[in-house]
Every structure is written in structure tokens, then in C-alpha cells.
Chains A and B, each alone.
Chain A
């Protein structure tokens, strides 16, 4: 018993020691594992960090490259736009000057129009004055003629009534003694020569005197403008060019290109003008409405009633089958294909009081 008891004791001691040591060993193993894993983790994280940094640098460079490309494009575009704007502005300046020059020189002279209108209004005033004078003159002449006619009448009357003149013995009717002065008729009668016997009735035709007529028929009476140069002008000395050539060059007419000859929107303006002219003549402003069937292009879809071969039923038919059995297709009755729905199946069977309403 003692022999193997040492071995047993050894064995038992070893086991005891192993138990105690095992726990330590496990602990230390675990600790070592933890340390190693932590360290490995740090290593790998550092590596990954390094990789991230590298990737970031690459991406940064690449994005910078792309952005710079884009920026170049934008700058080019902006530069191009700036140049075109400048050119357009300069072209507008040139066109403005040219159009102004062309209109002023070849098409329409504003100052000439102003002068013309001034001249017209001056002519109008002159004509109005002249006509007023003419009318006054005619009136005066008429009045004078009237007065003369009346004088002649009165003279004639006086000559007819010469016998009413007063004598020394008998005062005439126009020379009443109760008056201070004799009547003017009395004086007229004194001056009148007695009428002789009437001769044959001579009708004197009214004669038209030349002095009554206005004498401004010739165009030369109207003022003429423009002085011609004197005929005997001496030629200027010197090697001058031929005058006709110079004048030809100076007053050369404009030969515009087709592009310039008409304004750039001439077509639209002409269209607008034509439209306005036609619009003036229109009686009615409204546009003509389109023909009413123009948009009716949908195909006609007939209703079920019309598309079936059995025809519509009169309203209020209570049977779906024909009442005449001879016209039935088959002898069997109709089948219900659809189930009847339970509208009233829950009637009176709800649990709550509120359901009683159902």
C-alpha cells in the first residue's frame, strides 16, 4: 500500500497542482491571446489607416484633376461669351451708325420735312390772307355797286317827278314853308333834267369789263425759287479733274447689297402691315370658327342595347326571358352564375346594441 501510495500521492499531487496551475495557465493563455489579438488589431488598423490615407490622396488628386478640367471648360466658355458680347456690342455700334447714316442720307431727311411743313403752313397763311383780301374787295365792290344803283334810281325818280319842283308862287310838296330847310328831294329835283319821251324799249345787255377779272393766271406770278449760275463763269486754273467726273463720283447713288437694302425684319414688318391693312377692311373681328365636325374623329361605340341582336327591352319588363315559350333557345332554366350576396344575412344577429340598427 505504501508503494503505490507515493505514486498515487504523486499522481494526486500532480492532479492538484495541475488543477491550480491549469487555472493560471488558462488565465495567462487568455491574457496572451488578448494581448496578441489587440496588438494584431492595432497593426491591421494602422495598415488600414495607411491604406485609407493613400486612397484619399489618390482620390484627391483625381478629383482635383477632374475639377481643373471642368474649370478649364468653364473659363473657355466664359471667355468666349465675353468676346462674343464685345463683338456684338461693337457690331451694334457700327450698325447703329450705318443705319442712321443711310436713313439720313438716302431715305428720309427730317429737316427737309420740317422745312416743307413750315413752307406749307406759310403758304396756307399767305393764301388765307389773299383770299380774305379778295373777299373784302368783292364786298366793297358790291357795296359800291349797290350804292351807285340806288343813286341812279333816285336820279331817275327825280327826273320823272321834276314837275313837283317848287316855283316862286307855289311852294312844292318838298319845300313846305313850315320847315327850316328844304327836303333833300327838293335839291335833287332842282338838279334833275326833265325826261324826254321814251324811245323804243332798248334792253341794254350787261357788259363785262376786263378790269373785274383777276390777272394771276400765269404760273410766273407765283414766286419761284432757285437761282441759276451765271453763264459766263471763268474756268478755274489748275490741273483739276473733269467736273462731270467729280460730280459723278460725289453724287454716286448708293448700291446696297441685297442684305442691306432691306431691313432685317422687313418680311415680318411687311406681314404685319399687310395684316393691319386687311384688319382695317374687316367687317368682323372674330376669327372664323372651324367646321364643327372637324374634331369629331372618335369612332362611334354603340351601347349594349344596340349591339346585341336581341334588341332593347321596354322599360318595366319583369322577365328576362321572352314570354313566348316558342322563342326560347333551350328548355332548361337559367342558372345562377353569381352567388347572391349577403346583404341581409347579419340582420338582427349583431352582438352590440349599436348593431341593432342593422
Chain B
């Protein structure tokens, strides 16, 4: 045969390979094909193509592998078991940028499913090569490498430590300063995943000087970038007081408050989360947030959202109010209580209601003024109904019970306490009657109102064991009134009167 015919055979083979690999890559984009591909044994066929002579076939094979591994975790395990990873890592160091992107994509697809797979990726030495890729010229390569590192670091603290030990943090900080928005997003997300797990890791990330850059990036108009930046800052701030103070010193207030008015829901949520993580550490940080007007902004933000987006804002109000009574008063004058009671009544989910009940309990528990501010908005009956209803989850019941108990122990606003006399269970009734017994001896108008509204009658009907605290309270209430009135309202008085009529012998003269 002539030379050309021989070469034609090779060309045909190459074309067939190219076509096969391209078709597989395209089919792998659709989820319904992947089962069929797996059953047809595509992994075994793609593996030798990774070592193919032609670079395009290598790249497309890597891309197809990546898409397959991305979809399901047993395919990713097959990739690991097939010893493909060392080959990828080796060729990552020397191939062109398309191959590097595809290889980084495969590493990400394998590493994202579970910690064991990510550990397998780390074990074949992928981290060093990925860090080298982070210093490449092409932004696409950097993005793929950063994404892979982020997916690995997300799982647990050991993997994050491994990523940090490979020296990934300084190149990531450089990536943040690049002009491409997608690269910025991914780099910030990778740093945020690294800093999540432990305070030491967060400290390492902060030592690389990342906070200043993140603080500047809050002003960027891109919504997804803002999400990631705020999330990164909140992951850093949540670990300790020092880190939170460092985040605050980067002068994020009052700029962060503009993010609360963003159109994107998740930007609002992440901004609230950041403020919450800062506020929960110490009273001084909460005071800083109050002084900057953060509480008012968060309350408006709660009013404009629905559902899970509200949750960090509600928790922020609870944390701020829990620190001290002055801060709780500041929350009250920022009109937080009507908003919280609205959340309590209209939200369908139990965990959001539980958070709102917890926050209200902390606001109202300090002094009678605070309890009055909460009671005036008619929240107490709502809390009681949540406590008594059988459909509420146990967490919600517990939190509403604690909130009611804490508020009632300080509440001296009697119009709000009266409905409790009628439908409260005995353990709450004890506190209600106790409060009445504290207020009534000193206030004559309240005594009159108590009698005319039927409260005295209800108190007489309460059965209490003699010698118990409840009986003492009832006695002290009865001592506020003249004996005839107490007897008049005691149950069965009409019967005793009628008995006296029956047994009376009229004097016959």
C-alpha cells in the first residue's frame, strides 16, 4: 500500500476519535444521557484518550470527564479509582491553557461531592499544581483553579488547612484584585470557604491582608460579587471578637447599610448576616451598630423581605437587645417591636416564628418599660396561642414559653395581662396573678378597672392549693378589696344567699 493510504488510516482513526470525544462531551451536558453513557462504559474509554497525542482530543476528553464527574458522585469515584487524577495533575503542569482549564474542571467536579473524594484529590498532590495555576496569565485558568480550591476547602477544617498549607491564600488575594468580575467572585468565594471552618484559618486569611480589599469591593455594583464579599466578611467576623473588630475597623459602616437596599435578596440576606455576626460578640460592637443607624436599616430590610431572608435580621435584633437594656430600648425606639410582631403573626415557617419569639423575649425582659412596649403591640396573646397550639414544633413552643415567662415577670401593663387570666395554663397563670398582686395594692384606678372588667371574679374562680405561691398571690389580691366585695364575687355566692333565704324564719309578732 502507498504511504498516503497508510496515513489515511491514521487520519480516519484520528477523526473518529475526535468525533467520539466531542459527541460524548456534548451528550454529557444533558443529565438524561449520563446514565446511558455510564452503562456503556464511557469512563474506561475516555481514560486512554486523556493520553492521546492530539491536544484537542486530550482537552475534550478531559472536559467530557469533568462533566460526567460533575453530575454524579459515583462517577467521580470511578474517576478516582481509575487512577486518572495523577495523570491529570502531572499534565496540568505542562500543558496549554485549555487543557489546564479542563483539568481544573475535572478536579473541581471530583472534589465537590464529599470530603473523602476531596481528600483523594489532595492526596494526589493536586493542591500544589492548582496553586501554580493560580499564578498563570490566563484569567480562565485562574478562575478554574480557584474554583477547584474553593470546592475542596468547603468540606471541613482539615481540607481547608491543607489548602492554606499549600500556600493558596496569597495568590487568591492577588486574584481578588484582578479586573475580571467572574475571577473576583470565585476567588472571594474560595477565601470565604477557607475562612469558615476555624478561627486560625480565618486569622491566616486576614493576615494576608484581605479585609481591606473586601471592604472596597462592597461598593461594586455586581450583585453576585457583593453576595460573595458579604458572605466572606461574615465568615471571618463570626469567629471571635478580634476578627469582628478588625472587620469593623475596615470602615464598612455605613456603606454596608446601602447593601440592605439592594434589589438582590441574597445580598440583603448576607448583609444582615454580616451585621449579625458582628453584633453578637460584645455590647460595644452592638452599640457601634446602633450608633451607625444599622438597626433602623435592618428593620426596614426585614419589612421589605419575606421568608428565610428575614431570619438573620430578626436574629440581629435579638442579639442586640440581649446585651443590655439600653440597647433594647434603642431597638424599641427604632420601631423594631411592631415589625417583629408582624413577622411572628404572618410567617408560615416555624423556625422564623421561633426566632421572632426569642427576639421579642429578649427585648421585653429587662424592665417594666420594655415589657410594656412589647405588650402594647398585642403580641402576648399571639405568643400564648403559639405556645398552646399543638401544631407548633417543640422548639417554637419552648421559645414562646420562655419569652412569655420573661416578659410577664416584668410586665405591669394590666390591660395586656387581663386576657391571660382567662385562657392561660396554670404555670403561666401563676406569673400573671403574681404581677397583678404586685401592681394592684398601689394603684386605685387599676383596682377599680380590675373589678369592673371581671378580673376579680375570675381570680376567685381559680383553684389553688393552700400554701402554694398562687394562693399567696390570690390572698394578697383579695386583701386589696373590702370583704363584702370579695364574698360577692366568690363562686357560689348566689347559692349561699338563697340558702340563707330558705333557712330564714320570719319573726311572727
Q: Which residues of A come within 8 Å of B, CB atoms?
A: 113, 116-117, 120-121, 123-128, 131, 134-135, 138, 205-206, 208, 212-214, 216-219, 222, 276, 279-280, 283, 285
The smallest C-beta distance from B90 to any residue of chain A, in angstroms, reads 33
Contacting residue for A123 out of B258, B261, B292, B398, CB 8 A: B292
Chain B 139-181, CB-CB to A under 8 Å as 1, else 0, gives: 0000000000000000000000000000000000000000011
Say yes or no for B260: interface residue by CB 8 A criterion: yes
B291 and A120: CB pair below 8 A?
A: yes
Q: Shortest 5 CB-CB distances between A and B: which pairs?
A: A127-B293, A124-B296, A123-B293, A135-B261, A213-B219
> What residues of A have a CB within 8 angstroms of the CB of B295 in the complex?
124
Q: How far is the CA of A135 from the CA of B402 in the complex (A)?
A: 39
Contacting residue for A127 out of B215, B254, B402, CB 8 A: B254
Say yes or no for B290: interface residue by CB 8 A criterion: yes
Q: How far is the CA of A218 from the CA of B250 in the complex (A)?
A: 10
> What residues of A have a CB within 8 angstroms of the CB of B260 in the complex?
131
The smallest C-beta distance from B5 to any residue of chain A, in angstroms, reads 39
Which of B221, B254, B263 has the most A CB atoms < 10 Å from its CB? B254
Given contacts A116-B326, A123-B291, A219-B251, contact A128 B296 (CB under 8 A): yes
Which of A120, A216, A222 has the most B CB atoms < 10 Å from its CB? A120
Given contacts A120-B333, A121-B334, A131-B300, contact A214 B292 (CB under 8 A): no
Given contacts A117-B329, A117-B333, A280-B405, contact A124 B293 (CB under 8 A): yes
Which secondary structure dominates chain B's binding surface? helix
B251 and A283: CB pair below 8 A?
A: no
Q: How far is the CA of A151 from the CA of B251 in the complex (A)?
A: 40
Q: How far is the CA of A121 from the CA of B329 in the complex (A)?
A: 11
Given A120-B330, A208-B220, 9 extra CB contacts under 8 A = A121-B333, A123-B292, A123-B293, A123-B296, A127-B296, A127-B297, A131-B258, A222-B254, A279-B405
> What residues of B have a CB within 8 angstroms of the CB of A212 in the complex?
221
Say yes or no for B406: interface residue by CB 8 A criterion: yes
Given contacts A218-B251, A280-B406, contact A124 B334 (CB under 8 A): yes
Given contacts A121-B334, A124-B334, A131-B257, contact A113 B297 (CB under 8 A): no
Which of B180, B293, B398 has the most A CB atoms < 10 Å from its CB? B293
> What are 24 inter-chain pairs, A to B, with CB distance below 8 A?
A117-B329, A117-B330, A120-B290, A123-B291, A123-B292, A123-B296, A124-B296, A127-B254, A128-B293, A128-B297, A128-B300, A131-B257, A134-B261, A135-B261, A205-B180, A208-B220, A212-B221, A213-B221, A214-B255, A217-B255, A219-B251, A222-B254, A279-B405, A280-B405
> What residues of B have a CB within 8 angstroms of the CB of A126 in the complex?
293
Chain B 278-311, CB-CB to A under 8 Å as 1, else 0, gives: 0000000000001111111100100000000000
Q: How far is the CA of A125 from the CA of B181 in the complex (A)?
A: 35
Chain B 323-334, CB-CB to A under 8 Å as 1, else 0, gives: 000100110011
The smallest C-beta distance from A134 to any residue of chain B, in angstroms, reads 6
> What residues of A have a CB within 8 angstroms of the CB of B263 in the complex?
138
The smallest C-beta distance from B57 to any residue of chain A, in angstroms, reads 26
The smallest C-beta distance from A289 to any residue of chain B, in angstroms, reads 15
Q: How far is the CA of A163 from the CA of B300 in the complex (A)?
A: 54
A276 and B219: CB pair below 8 A?
A: no
A216 and B255: CB pair below 8 A?
A: yes
The smallest C-beta distance from B17 to any residue of chain A, in angstroms, reads 29
Q: How far is the CA of A283 from the CA of B405 in the complex (A)?
A: 12
> What residues of A have a CB within 8 angstroms of the CB of B180 in the complex?
205
The smallest C-beta distance from A222 to any residue of chain B, in angstroms, reads 7
Within 8 A of A (CB), among B71-113: none
Chain B 476-489, CB-CB to A under 8 Å as 1, else 0, gives: 00000000000000
The smallest C-beta distance from B272 to any residue of chain A, in angstroms, reads 14
> What residues of B have a CB within 8 angstroms of the CB of A124 in the complex?
293, 295-296, 333-334
Q: How far is the CA of A214 from the CA of B333 in the complex (A)?
A: 29
The smallest C-beta distance from B171 to any residue of chain A, in angstroms, reads 22
Contacting residue for A120 out of B215, B221, B334, CB 8 A: B334
Say yes or no for B18: interface residue by CB 8 A criterion: no
Contacting residue for A134 out of B258, B291, B409, CB 8 A: B258
Say yes or no for B427: interface residue by CB 8 A criterion: yes
Q: How far is the CA of A123 from the CA of B180 in the complex (A)?
A: 37
> What residues of B have a CB within 8 angstroms of the CB of A222 in the complex?
254
The smallest C-beta distance from A265 to any residue of chain B, in angstroms, reads 17
> What residues of B have a CB within 8 angstroms of the CB of A131 in the complex?
257-258, 260-261, 297, 300
A214 and B258: CB pair below 8 A?
A: yes
Q: How far is the CA of A113 from the CA of B328 in the complex (A)?
A: 13
> What residues of B have a CB within 8 angstroms of the CB of A206 in the complex?
181
> What residues of A have a CB within 8 angstroms of the CB of B330 in the complex?
117, 120
Least CB separation from B398: chain A residue: A283
Least CB separation from B326: chain A residue: A113
Q: How far is the CA of A208 from the CA of B226 in the complex (A)?
A: 14
Contacting residue for A276 out of B220, B258, B293, B409, CB 8 A: B409
Q: How far is the CA of A223 from the CA of B328 in the complex (A)?
A: 25
Least CB separation from A125: chain B residue: B296
Q: How far is the CA of A113 from the CA of B329 in the complex (A)?
A: 10
> What residues of A have a CB within 8 angstroms of the CB of B297 in the complex?
127-128, 131
> What residues of A have a CB within 8 angstroms of the CB of B215 in the complex?
217
The smallest C-beta distance from B329 to any residue of chain A, in angstroms, reads 6
Least CB separation from A118: chain B residue: B333
The smallest C-beta distance from A281 to any residue of chain B, in angstroms, reads 8
Q: How far is the CA of A279 from the CA of B406 in the complex (A)?
A: 9
The smallest C-beta distance from A212 to any residue of chain B, in angstroms, reads 6
Q: How far is the CA of A135 from the CA of B297 in the complex (A)?
A: 12
